[in-house]
Chain A
């Protein structure tokens, strides 16, 4: 939990820095942090799902 708290604080500081330092950004502020989190969860969930229902097989004995 402590690691997650530290990462959230770091991310929040980066978002604040963006608000303070970047005038007229091309993308909504903080969008990359949200995209990173949601993208990570999506990749893991979709990949695991594909693995379970289709792609993964037990390793053969010589593995």
Chain B
């Protein structure tokens, strides 16, 4: 028996209760489970370890240090805030999958060996797939399947990398790797989850299709778990500096063209994760702490922004800038709380984004990486332009659309208010967050020069927006992303593999259906074929991994 509790356990218990218990019984657990997880994560001491032997393998399912703990704390916190936001949405699927995703993210942050990391990694992919499905539409089902295929592919890369690493007789504990051999495969797997272009399209494809609450959970885990993994395994690799800068700018360019409010915010996840990846690539203690701090802040302010956008979608049933406008009278609290998130992500003083973004940029400046720093300032301009100006202007002001929105539930607004309060509290008292970071930080963001500089940056951007506002409204278009590269060959592959897919679906219907005593024949044939294709892809991926491992000996 271990001396330590894992913060994932309350979430797993909460998931079981959400799945099995009647609504009134399950509802208290939506808040009790996260509260217990936060308490456990907060009190885990450095060096705490716990192991178990599974099928002859010793797994270190808990290994605590400052880097893992800061991610564990924020994963636990956002689970509670997301659950509070989701209380008015009585979906067993949502709450069960969300809590499993929280547990899996915590499993990643506190994993002490590669196999534990892999199991948690795959569990997060499956739980996130279900969260995308929670959108409940045909588009959501298709996006969820694409999400699963991309992440199964990433998982196969991770498994292959881990197996190669272990087969070479190296340590099973998670340590820094070089970019060669298995390190390449593992880096690629992390890059898929971090949404580093060109491996980014799954994010903006899937997240906007989930339910309002589902999107809040999705935004918190996959990319930030990848940032954690990069910080643990690949700090200080120059490649990541430029990958991060490219992400930061890629997101803002695509956000200009975006009409869907949650997809627009999705592009800004890519952009903000770019800051974190840059920090990891710089690799100095300040930069890695900055990356961790920015992940911590980002989970809060991005959660708040998506809560606001989700409230709009819930209240109006609309999601496009071209269909929205004039909501400020009907939704003043949603607007006010959304704007706190918008100012935070834009780096406005007194909010957490100002502190954490400054840490990463200052780390670049201290290393005399002026080009990197100014490109990150440019990304900051784009961030304020879209999330702080374009989206709220065309959603809450702009052309009146005569919409009569449904009231936003009280619990939803309460979740937004608590999240906004946390953004503000960390912004005015950053020492509380500094104490959690992996390396000691003495950086002072509130110098007169820095505050005035950032206010000037925001004011200059606002002038640009005011000059160009007529050209910035939504357009009824879709934007090609990097998925345009693999969707056509994917479709060709799907058509070519149709006979095999049909056979797998038949096997599902007969063998699996009998084995689990489920009426599989009642499942529509189209869904059977989709499941069949997913199973086939998984089998092909695992076959490829086995073949690869047999080749490398």
Contacts and interface: CB of A to CB of B under 8 A. Distances in A.
6 contacts: A21-B452, A37-B461, A48-B257, A56-B257, A58-B478, A62-B139
A44 B461 CA distance: 11
Given A40-B385, A40-B465, A57-B477, A17 B257 contact: no
Q: Nearest 7 A-B pairs (CB), nearest first?
A: A36-B460, A40-B464, A47-B256, A39-B381, A33-B456, A32-B456, A37-B460
Interface in A1-22: 3-4, 7-8, 10-11, 14-15, 17-18, 21-22
B464 to A, nearest CB: 3
A7 B449 CA distance: 20
B50 to A, nearest CB: 48
A47 B460 contact: no
A48 B460 contact: no
Given A11-B463, A22-B452, A57 B458 contact: no
B516 to A, nearest CB: 34
A18 B456 contact: yes
B478 A4 contact: no
A3 B381 contact: no
B456 A11 contact: yes
Given A18-B449, A54-B480, A4 B257 contact: no
B519 interface: no
B378 A51 contact: no
A11 B456 CA distance: 6
Interface residues of B, number: 40
B377 A35 contact: yes
Contacts of A43: 252-253, 256, 378, 381-382, 385
A8 B257 contact: no
B454 interface: yes
A58 B477 contact: yes
B411 interface: no
Residue from A40, A57, A60, A63 with most neighbouring chain B CB atoms (10 Å): A40
A40 to B, nearest CB: 3
B377 A63 contact: no
A32 B453 contact: yes
B268 to A, nearest CB: 13
Contact of B378 (A26, A33, A39, A48): A39
Contacts of B539: none
B477 A56 contact: yes
A48 B480 contact: no
A59 B323 CA distance: 14
A15 to B, nearest CB: 7
A43 B96 CA distance: 41
Interface in B367-395: 374, 377-378, 381-382, 385
Interface string B252-290: 111011010000000000000000000000000000000
Given A44-B472, A48-B471, A56-B479, A33 B460 contact: yes
Interface in B444-480: 448-449, 452-468, 471-472, 475-480
Given A41-B464, A56-B479, A57-B478, A36 B448 contact: no
Contacts of B460: 11, 32-40
A33 B457 contact: yes
Contacts of A48: 256-257, 471
A9 to B, nearest CB: 10
Contact of A55 (B257, B453, B472): B257
A21 B451 CA distance: 11
A51 B256 contact: yes
Contacts of B254: 47, 55
Contacts of B452: 14, 17-18, 21-22
B121 to A, nearest CB: 32
